[in-house]
Amino acid sequence: MTIRSPALGQVQTSQLPFRSTGKVCDVESSDHIDVASLEPMFRPASVAIIGASADPARIGGMPLAFLKANRFAGPIYPVNPRAPTIQELPAFASIRDIGKPVDLALIAVPAAHVIPSLEACVEVGVRAVIIFTSGFAEIDAEGARAQERIAAIGRAGGVRIMGPNCIGLVNFSNGLYMSFHPAFAFSGKPGGRLGIVTQSGAFGGHVHRMALDRDISYSYCITTGNEADVDVADGIAFLAEDPGTKAIQVYLEGFRNGRKFVRALEMAQRNAKPVIAIKLGRTEAGAAAAASHTAALAGADAVWDAVFRQYGVHRATSIEEFLEIGIAGAMAQRPPNDRIGLVSVSGGVGVLMADAAAERGLDVAPMPQAPQDKIRKLVPFAATRNPIDITGQVVNDFSLLGQAIEIMAGEGGYGSLVPFIGSSARIPERCARLLEQFGELHARYPELLLVAAAFSPPEFRNGLHALGYLSYEEPVSAVHAIAALAAFRRHFARNDAPPEPPPVTPAPARGGPLSEFESLRFLKSAGLPVVDARLVDSVEAAQAAAAALGFPVALKVASADILHKSDVGGVALGLKSPAALGEAYAAMAAGVAAKTGRAVETFTVAPMISGGVETVLGVNRDPVFGPVVMFGLGGIFVEALGDVVFRAAPFGRDEAHRMIREIRSFRVLEGVRGRPAADVDALAAALARLSALAAAHADAIESIDVNPFLVRANGQGAVALDALVIPRKSE
């Protein structure tokens, strides 16, 4: 496999700077998720450790030590043929010797012994297995075959398998520390509300430590390794259904089953659980490229980005952002609206926060006049609009801060408030007073979200978390957290129209590209507006068609073999009379025949349509997500600026509207230089229909290129002027 990264250029995976997770995805077309079957893995009543070691520093010893230290409640059965007891527990020579039900078995033996151990587990009715051992698909083809065998044994025996080549999982609520990452020597507290699924075990251990530094414990840490069976989508789904988990973090290096991933995200969405992702390892964009003109732009990472937006996932670009937004999603209530109120003891910090808020799409709405007057009564020189600056007066009278917050909360109509309070919370009596005040505020305005920007000692931060509030030293981070929570709220509150019904259009026959005429007809049958082109085979027919359509007209050769018509003189535009059409017909027939060496028998005549904004719609097959719809403005916007957006198909008109508004040059559609606003509704409807068509024939269509798709003035609709549909080649 070849991977593209802005940093690394195009590299072979063999040179990849991260350990390959060696995923073997033999059932990638299935998007089935069975959460119930994961129960014995994540909440086992009993566990066995095959390859248990007496040395708590070793891979086979560490989980045992962790389980004991964290008082896992069920029986623990060490399996080791060479010792009667392991870490003071009676050991068994084989899992066959235990004689009692085992829900979850850990396999930590050399690679050659893994399959026999797994078979023994199946034989005695173990219900779930974790395999630490590496040396499978991440190494070579032989390893991949062994891994496929592991998966097959699990499927046949009804046993769910995590790994191989993983570092296990931790359920922090029941002491199930089934991992060998040294970070888990530091215990979390039960009752954590943030869950993580990660393809990198090292990463999971690292963020666990970072979280502990912030007094935050996870609910689950799930490391999926090579994903022979249980994968990140399963992990997301499990956490989506877990009542204790309130937000889900995902660390991804790569994933091939886009449909299953989307199903898992839909489960999280249904349960209103924020998902925060780091996604690395950008897959080859060009893999999807075909003859289609727009395909070259479809970087797979851009598609991941689009899917994250489409399904409301917050994509983080740093570990700290990943953790902080994760904590916010898990610990804080979401603001009921996008209006943010800012109150500061330093005017400058207020403006800094206001600009950050506006940049992230929050509404720094001014206060109504009455509460402004109240603030001014409190502090004569205060800024009262929003941000509110209660000035250094707060040094003389600390109660001013609480009074100002109360007024903003009660009369400002804000969904969230950020008080910047500097180092006050470091003074114990002020910290206590603030927490008391915030407690009263929460009782009075239970929906309001408060995020403090302050030097925050642990008791302050934890006190705020207990109220569903947050605190950050950095005021800009406070605003960013609110923006992320507001985006989650908006996403969960979506009430989109459903996607367009699948069109009844039959799939195009496998084979070569459709001609322009056939392509337009195919799109028309799926409900897209297309130019009224007529197929003709004589000058007379052309002239008759033109008379019916009205002059001026365009004349083009109609042959599926000629992809670039204008290169061979096969396009004549703006023909104003029957005579001009006749001349053009004769010249084109002769010219194209001379250039291509073949007689051309059919042409199209179409009305000239002008006035409007030229756009480009496209469909391409993404190797992960299947049919993906692209949108951009025509010509130089796409080619010079790469100003295009993507969505996984299918999607409805509301999503299409959001998609259209994501291009940087959206203003062109709103009308510039005195031009009228374009008919964005018609454009959105066309995108939604195109996505339904692409999804309905996902296996039959390689690509669709509608270029130009002319979007006319508002109310006048839109029309495809040219199109190219390329069916998938026979397999």
The nearer residue to a second copy, 40 or 419, going by C-beta atoms, is: 419
Burial 284-304 (b: 16+ CB within 10 A, else e): bbebbbbebbbbbbbbbbbbb
Strands (E), 82-217: 85-86, 89-90, 104-107, 128-131, 160-162, 168-171, 176-179, 194-198
CB 254 within 8 A of CB 200: no
| Tokens read off for 560 | 């599926």
Give the nearest distance from C-beta 391 to a second copy in angstroms: 6
Q: Give the DSSP H or E segment for 248.
A: strand 247-252
Q: Report which residue type is found at 496.
A: D
Give the nearest distance from C-beta 264 to a second copy in angstroms: 20
Residues 468-507 that bind a second copy (CB under 8 A): 473-477
Query: Binding of a second copy at residue 200 (CB under 8 A)?
Result: yes
Strands (E), 515-674: 534-536, 553-557, 571-575, 603-607, 613-622, 626-633, 644-648
- The Cα 278–Cα 232 span in angstroms is 12
Give the nearest distance from C-beta 87 to a second copy in angstroms: 20
Separation of CA 319 from chain center: 17
Query: At a CB cut-off of 8 Å and minimum separation 6, what does 475 contact?
Result: 349, 352, 353, 356, 418, 420, 453
Residues 44-103 that bind a second copy (CB under 8 A): none
Query: Binding of a second copy at residue 602 (CB under 8 A)?
Result: no
Give the nearest distance from C-beta 635 to a second copy in angstroms: 8
Query: Binding of a second copy at residue 212 (CB under 8 A)?
Result: no
Lay out the site mask for a second copy across 244-283 (x = CB under 8 A, - = otherwise).
-------x-x------------------------x-xx--
Residues 336-375 that bind a second copy (CB under 8 A): 342, 344-352, 354-359, 364
The nearer residue to a second copy, 187 or 665, going by C-beta atoms, is: 665
Q: Report which residue type is found at 252.
A: L
Query: Binding of a second copy at residue 429 (CB under 8 A)?
Result: no
The nearer residue to a second copy, 6 or 84, going by C-beta atoms, is: 6
The angle at the Cα of 92, spanning 88 to 98, to the nearest 5 degrees, equals 115
Residues 158-187 that bind a second copy (CB under 8 A): 182-183
Return the range that interacts with a second copy (CB under 8 A); candidates 556-564, 568-576, 664-672, 715-723: 664-672
Q: Report which residue type is found at 498.
A: P
Return the range that interacts with a second copy (CB under 8 A); candidates 30-38, 194-202, 219-227, 704-712: 194-202
The nearer residue to a second copy, 85 or 423, going by C-beta atoms, is: 423
Binding footprint of a second copy, residue count (CB under 8 A) = 77
Return the range that interacts with a second copy (CB under 8 A); candidates 107-115, 198-206, 216-224, 710-718: 198-206
CA atoms within 13 A on the CB side of 321: 13
Greatest Cα pair distance in the chain: 102
* Residues linked to residue 315 through DSSP beta bridges, in sequence order: 277
Report CA Rg, the chain: 31
Query: Binding of a second copy at residue 677 (CB under 8 A)?
Result: no
Residues 279-308 that bind a second copy (CB under 8 A): 280-281
* Residues linked to residue 221 through DSSP beta bridges, in sequence order: 170, 196
Query: Binding of a second copy at residue 430 (CB under 8 A)?
Result: no
The nearer residue to a second copy, 38 or 64, going by C-beta atoms, is: 64
Query: Binding of a second copy at residue 594 (CB under 8 A)?
Result: no
The nearer residue to a second copy, 474 or 540, going by C-beta atoms, is: 474
Give the nearest distance from C-beta 392 to a second copy in angstroms: 7
Query: Binding of a second copy at residue 611 (CB under 8 A)?
Result: no
CB 294 within 8 A of CB 616: yes
Give the nearest distance from C-beta 367 to a second copy in angstroms: 11
Query: Binding of a second copy at residue 320 (CB under 8 A)?
Result: yes
Query: Binding of a second copy at residue 231 (CB under 8 A)?
Result: no
The nearer residue to a second copy, 249 or 269, going by C-beta atoms, is: 249
Q: Where are the alpha helices (DSSP H) in 30-140?
A: 39-42, 62-69, 111-123
Give the nearest distance from C-beta 109 to a second copy in angstroms: 18
Query: Binding of a second copy at residue 661 (CB under 8 A)?
Result: no
